[in-house]
Structure 1
């Protein structure tokens, strides 16, 4: 090789190296995010937590292949406020959505908006229960209000249409269709929200045929007389055997009710039954009647000789059969989604979260519904998988709240977390980098007087203790030692043995109220606005 050629090659090599040094290194691939949220799904009805009632292999898989959170909670155990907290990363008294009545301000900042601005493709599919047009999404297909189980209406990018079929299957299909048609050049964030298992628990055919044959054990506190607590527990109208509707909830046909002289607490029950069953086409109705009509006939025959205890047990079984049958369909939906991620090669770089908008009473203390700061409605399921960072079988015991979802997702996406977001990113918790975390959480509930008559209250929970203040038309405090009394049966607020604990918890409560910006002044302002909104609604 000549000296001239050798020199030329050397210059080319140096030039190429210099060019390479000036080029930016490729950005790391940002993770996709799928946030699955069902409605009123109790952690007791997920076999990763407790296999007494049901097996949920697909939901369990998320936790087995990633992390399961044992102490995940909400800031306000009510559908719409919980969803507003999830979107904004702010407490109800900051984001303005404190109940199911007042409107949500979609103009405020939310994590989907920030993700979209940073280059993510975003979608919302299913139930959001926040009025107004969703903001921050390239695609939205949402149920109006509570939505319906059979032949539901969806608002798809602003246009409403009725889609034949069962809501859980339809929601899943819409979510998968969007995933398949999305822009594959962008990372994505999908909020995949199932309506089930919300009241009035209308299962799909294959599962009501199976679950109406099952029996379930009553919880130990089903016949609780509330003697260890104050006014609020006694006053709540959410007992399975007293406050559920015979028609809408238990699925008794109105003509059977008339024959037996049974009446629902309000006209809501009959109207719900007629409206829900009335949405079915002839084929769906015939299948429904083939199972529920014989059940009605058997009850009509047995009722005259049933004791009060037998009747209470029958109503519990009716609740569990339909509720858990709805959960079984949700588990199928999760399985479909996970299978799609595997087959499409997306699983490794996709964060998958499964949770609920709050917990739910499955007969504990005799109750259904939620709202209280007692554990069953305050605590939520939370399972999370991200193969790149989370080791299979990870257990997270720290006090996490729905307040933390927004900053966590922004953290993973490399998006700056706004200073006014009140939650914390739990990314370092689940990947094992840090165990430092908060040691107390704050809760508020406002919607009273209203359905179920759960009184207004706020409170603080630590790893061991819980302090609650019920106010407005009463002024009562409740303190629980969760280590010695996990079912919260005995209020120890006035127990001299807990005097130091009481003072410590009051101090913690004051600290958290100041930290998050809550006050009695806000509660008064809210009351005036709430009563005005209720009057307009009526």
Structure 2
């Protein structure tokens, strides 16, 4: 029987790809054991406010709620950039978006990067990926979104060998993928269920050997109304509560969105239950690390907005659980913030693997194993280039900020923009940034942000500068802006 298995449900991190990884001192354990398996399950656009174990009384997530009682629960898991491809680039590489270069959806992640699969493969692991990829991208001058329906070349799979992948789709009930030989295959029914069945098969076939498996679901990303009917029937919109920061005129719309969004969440919770049961039946549950998280959240009409990229908690905070009884115990809570680039080095630390020098995130494995807080005051949040649904004409703006255990502070190109005391104002309805009595706090948080920017070599330039540096073109009319766009809704 295998001794350890590592299971993770999440969304992705970033890398330095120009040099050979530099090996740092490895973790050692008193009782050396078999290498842990890694099963990484990624949900897309599942916000932290929409799970039962973090206090939501409307959403039905019994499997996650039970899992939380056995896990380390992260109350402030913060996505470095609240949008799909940048998060994924930062997860697989452990780098920040302006290092690996994917700070805009559908731009190509560097082929030569050092990634999670390459690292574990070099350590003797089998590697597999199932579901949504969103890191191949299209080259300069190609039609926007053209790569979403095309196979990913073998050399662009970043070290993953077992391959059942679609670059991007949000048609969850008529979904296809490409296999290892780039042959088109179809998922039967609701694709998350079929993808989970495939993951279970992979686990059963590889349970006696160390493996890394990423299972990447598309839901609960919109379209919201496409969950299986049985799960939609579980929710009556009029019975659902909305967050107090949803304007009155949007509350009925928010309830209708929530009913369908929760239906996806409950369907995925069912899949999680199937996956956990399969791991138990495979005989590897006792020493399994199980992590659940997502790429980013969804505003769902908070502040009158939908979807992501915004600096508010509904967009930047994600659920994160890590269950690893062998080293972490059970039922613990972590309140210090953890950021996307920190996930990969922390996993490597828990796996007793050396951490390449290209990785910019922090390894918190020792803190977790000791049962301590992380000692991390702030997580970085950013939007170097607004695009798509939050492009300039829709109010998007460049920003950098920090999310601490208690505060959110954000600057745009004009200077300090947002300051919230999230303990006293959990719905972020009172911006303190221009109040003189909070100037000392603002200066402290601004100093923290400056430290983060210096550490990541981020000069906080206008969006056009980054597009030029990486030789990217804006998609369609993303670049169009009013000359006074920064002052809009200021």
How many residues are paired up?
A: 425
Q: How does 1:36-435 map to 2 (within 5 A)?
A: 36-131=41-136, 132=152, 133-157=156-180, 158-182=182-206, 184-201=207-224, 202-211=226-235, 215-223=239-247, 309=249, 312-435=250-373
Match of 2:411 in 1: 469
Q: CA deviation at 1:198?
A: 0.7
* CA distance 1:363–1:531, change in 2 (3 Å): farther
Structure 2 CA distance for partners of 1:143 and 1:70, relative to 1, 3 Å: same
In the aligned structure 1, how far is the partner of 2:459 from the partner of 2:339?
20
**In structure 2, C-alpha distance between the alignment counterparts of 1:185 and 1:408, rounded to whole Å:** 24
Q: Which SS does the other structure have where 2:261 is aligned?
A: helix
Aligned mate of 1:519, from 459, 466, 469 = 459
Q: 1:400 Cα deviation (Å)?
A: 0.8
TM-score normalised to the size of structure 1? 0.74
- Cα–Cα, structure 1 residues 523 and 535, in superposed 2: closer, same or farther, change >3 Å? closer
48-57 or 125-134, which moves further after superposition?
A: 125-134
Q: Is the 8 A contact 2:128 2:213 kept in 1?
A: yes
Structure 1 residue 223, shift from structure 2 partner: 0.7
1:371 Cα offset (Å): 0.9
What runs of 5+ residues in structure 2 fail to find an aligned partner?
Answer: 1-29, 137-151, 479-490
Offset at 1:521? 4.9
Please state which structure has a larger fraction of its residues in helix: 1
Distance 1:163 1:502, change over 3 A: closer
Matches of 1:535 and 1:75, distance apart in 2: 22
Equivalent position to 1:29, from 6, 10, 34: 34
Partners of 1:129 and 1:146 within 8 A in 2: no
**C-alpha spacing 1:504/1:59, structure 2 compared with 1 (3 Å):** same
| Residues 499 and 313 of structure 1, relative CA distance in 2, 3 Å threshold | closer
SS at match of 1:34: strand
Render the CA deviation track for 1:302-332: whole Å, top value 9, x for unaligned.
xxxxxxx5xx444223211211111111001
Q: Is the 8 A contact 1:147 1:153 kept in 2?
A: no
Residue aligned with 1:320, SS: helix
Once superposed, what is the RMSD of the aligned Cα atoms? 2.4
**In structure 1, how many angstroms separate the alpha carbons of the residues matched to 2:403 and 2:167?**
34
Tell me, yes or no, if the aligned pair for 2:86 and 2:103 is still in contact at 8 Å.
yes
Query: Which secondary structure does the structure 2 equivalent of 1:176 belong to?
Result: helix
Pair 1:313–1:485, CA change in 2 (3 A): closer
Q: Is there any run of 5+ residues in structure 1 with no aligned partner, and where?
A: 1-24, 225-308
Counterparts in 2 of 1:521 and 1:315: CA distance versus 1, 3 Å: closer
Contact in 2 for aligned 1:212/1:322 (Cα 8 Å): no
Query: Distance in 2 between the 1:510 and 1:163 partners?
Result: 47
Structure 1 pair 501–537 and aligned structure 2 pair: CA distance change class (3 A): closer
Native 8 Å contact 1:127 1:147 kept in 2: no
Q: Deviations over 1:80-122 (max 9, x none)?
A: 1011111110000001110114221232001221001101111
Corresponding residue for residue 149 of structure 2 = none
Q: 1:26 to 1:51 in 2, by over 3 A?
A: closer
Q: Which moved more, 1:134-143 or 1:478-487?
A: 478-487
Could you say what secondary structure the match of 2:290 adopts? strand
- What's the TM-score once normalised by structure 2's chain length? 0.81
Q: State the 1:200 CA deviation.
A: 0.5
* Alpha-carbon distance in structure 2 between the residues aligned to 1:215 and 1:100: 36
Deviation for aligned residue 1:535? 5.3
Deviation at 1:26, TM superposition (A): 9.7
Q: Contact conserved, 1:71 with 1:397, CA < 8 A, in 2?
A: yes
